[in-house]
Structure 1
Amino acid sequence: MIDYTMISSDEELVKICNKLKTKNQIAMDLEADSMHHFKEKVCLIQIADDTQNILIDPLSITDFSPLKLFCENPDITKVFHGADFDIRTLERDCNIRIHNLFDTEIACRFLGIQRRSLAALLKKHFNLCLDKRFQKTDWSKRPLSDEMIAYSLNDVLNLIELSRILKKKLEDCGRLAWAREEFQLQTLVKHDNNSSAPLFMKFKGAGKMSRRGLAVLEHLLHVRMDIARQKNLPLFKIMGAESISHMATRRPVTFAELKKSKALSPKQMGMYGEKCLKAILDGLAVPTEELPVYPRKKAPDVAPEIPGRIRALKEMREDMSKRTGMEPGFLINNAMITTIAMASPGSRQELLEIDGARKWQMDILGQEIINILNICA
């Protein structure tokens, strides 16, 4: 069994954070319960350095301020693999931000590494095979089994050494400063509240529905959310998006029609059929003048030279992807290409002033972009 220290009280958290603040670098990871409960929460925080392994039980902690001070200390590097979820979760549940991040997944992107899952990287560099049996486990359950503890610790045990390997590779190819810029931008992401009205704004395919369809969809989504909240289950365990979309589009108004539509399973029909039918009827009863409207941005007028610029910029991106080994969509995405084509900046400085532009992107692509825009003016 891997040696570790379990932190399950505010007093223990204070002590361990006082010890950790002397470190230069630590590895971190989180486990949550999104597959099992309506309101997802962080259920375990794993930390490792060169000498110790720590598990923090956030379900037993009431004051996260010592961990907040530690995580926001810019003198200590926090190593994560694919930190986006972790950063959003810590901000949502603990009001904690991460300062001084090293993200091994992002580092791999700058190195052109295609197979960059943690399991693939640990196999490649340390010949270790991760046991992923507990990926969908309910981490809110207590006590944690020995197998669950070992699984959670294995995600951080080798992260520091992996970060050193990747950092050296980044230094050797002159891309460490680029990666650090992206690490910093990653620390700024925030939790997105998906339960704010109108709910259809977060539903895939809603933009293609009629206004009447949106009204029905909104009522169905509220019914699903209310049931999920009452049962303390994630939304997908109540009704899948496909079922909701089917009902909002077909809009059956009787049990016979709902059953014939096969939008719900027989079990779901028994549990939720009546509520779904009421939601559909309520949506159909919304007065025409009160029907919701899916907000759409008016497409800007496109000058005739814009499509040619976009094509040329995409061709350049493909060429630079081959030359750098970095994936095209990571080098620069289609939305940014379109923005640049329409803005037609005349200098690198003007490029950098475009919202969302990275300095590292302009280091790689800036002059090429200016050259293309001059030719396609």
Structure 2
Amino acid sequence: MRPAVLIETQTDFNRLMSMLADASQIAVDTESNSFFAYYERVCLIQISTDEDDYLVDPLSLKDVTPFCQILRDESIEKIFHAASNDLIGLKRDFHCCIRNLFDTAVACKLLGVKKLGLAKVLDEHFGVTLNKKWQRCDWEKRPLKKEQIDYARLDTHYLIPLRHRLALELIKRDLWQDAQEAFVKICSQEVQEKVFQPNGFAHIKGAQALDNQSRRILKDLYRYREQEAKRRNRAPFRILSNETLVRLAMDHPGSVQELARVKGLPKSYQNSRAAYGLLELIRRTHDTCDDMKM
């Protein structure tokens, strides 16, 4: 296995895209920062050919239009594993549409495979072990670690030979047309704008066990967390976890000291402006509930 090629300049990127324009098929995957940021973005694009693996850093590029042209080119087959989220991210961030897709996860499902995760599939077919430690790391951080590069390139390195194995089996079982129809359907999906559901708090574990007053506090805390996540561009659970929201709603602390004793409360909410803002929200909701009882 040759070393992966890291593409970090527009010149190298344009050169790679010119080369890929003559390819008959490429394997593609992406990595994002969805586990860390509220406004998710594609942070890495992995591309493999029959010979090499490339890691494209879109954060360092001014223009990824040539890649979108590759994705649209019907003469080039694009091989993904569980393409849905990748395609949505590429469409959302770069307005890329795709034609001529082969999704190895969909192919596996049609063939009756039960465990569709890439790690399991690669282990079954090639005896390869993926280090899942890096699956949810912050892919926006630079520079990338060697371990991240090693992990990322394996996501696409085996997809082309995997595609060939699965295609033969699909044809053998007369499932090729079914697969093609499924691939086209995936390509046509649209980006859905993220919409906050204010009553989503009710689905948090432990919410149903709260009394009415605590549930009202939980609802307001849930809305507050969403607003803070947007403002700070952080994943909501990194502002306050669901477990912490429930504990705050249940204990409704009235002082900084009481707040600091809430298990799981981030340090940023201990004796700070954020702490007093949180206490004021809890107090205001608590008082409103008391007034409604009168």
Q: Do both proteins adopt the same fold according to a TM-score greater than 0.5, normalized to the shorter chain?
A: yes
The count of residues paired between Structure 1 and Structure 2 equals 284
Match 2:198 to one of 197, 200, 213: 200
Looking at structure 2, the residues matched to 108 and 133 of structure 1 have their Cα atoms a distance apart, in angstroms, of 24
The Cα shift of 1:133 comes to 2.9
Looking at structure 2, the residues matched to 76 and 286 of structure 1 have their Cα atoms a distance apart, in angstroms, of 62
Secondary structure of the 2:161 match is helix
The answer on whether the counterparts of 1:76 and 1:100 sit within 8 Å (CA) in structure 2 is yes
Secondary structure of the 2:63 match is coil
Looking at structure 1, the residues matched to 154 and 169 of structure 2 have their Cα atoms a distance apart, in angstroms, of 23
The sequence identity of aligned pairs, in percent, is: 29
Match for residue 220 of structure 1? Answer: 221
The answer on whether the counterparts of 2:254 and 2:283 sit within 8 Å (CA) in structure 1 is no
1:233 pairs with 2:234: yes
Match for residue 276 of structure 1? Answer: 278
Give me the CA root mean square deviation: 3.2
> Which amino acid in the other structure matches residue 205 of structure 1?
H
Show CA shifts across 1:152-175 (max 9, x none): 111111101101111111111111
Match for residue 95 of structure 2? Answer: 95
> Which amino acid in the other structure matches residue 121 of structure 1?
V
Distance 1:238 1:111, change over 3 A: same
- Greater relative contact order (CA < 8 Å, ≥ 6 in sequence): 2
The answer on whether the counterparts of 1:27 and 1:78 sit within 8 Å (CA) in structure 2 is yes
Looking at structure 2, the residues matched to 270 and 241 of structure 1 have their Cα atoms a distance apart, in angstroms, of 21
The Cα shift of 1:113 comes to 0.7
5 Å matches for 1:1-377? 2-194=2-194, 196-197=195-196, 199-203=197-201, 205=203, 216-217=217-218, 219-229=220-230, 231-245=232-246, 247=248, 250=250, 252=252, 254-255=254-255, 259=259, 262=262, 265=265, 267=267, 268-270=269-271, 272-283=274-285
The Cα shift of 1:29 comes to 0.7
Looking at structure 2, the residues matched to 251 and 189 of structure 1 have their Cα atoms a distance apart, in angstroms, of 44
> Which amino acid in the other structure matches residue 31 of structure 1?
E
Q: Mean Cα displacement is larger for which, 172-181 or 124-133?
A: 124-133
Max radius of gyration: which structure? Answer: 1
- Unaligned stretches of 5+ in structure 2? 290-294
> Which amino acid in the other structure matches residue 43 of structure 1?
C
The Cα shift of 1:229 comes to 4.6
Match for residue 321 of structure 1? Answer: none
Looking at structure 1, the residues matched to 234 and 138 of structure 2 have their Cα atoms a distance apart, in angstroms, of 12
Looking at structure 1, the residues matched to 246 and 189 of structure 2 have their Cα atoms a distance apart, in angstroms, of 30
Distance 1:72 1:231, change over 3 A: same
> Which amino acid in the other structure matches residue 193 of structure 2?
N
- Unaligned stretches of 5+ in structure 1? 288-377
Looking at structure 2, the residues matched to 276 and 73 of structure 1 have their Cα atoms a distance apart, in angstroms, of 52
Secondary structure of the 1:54 match is strand
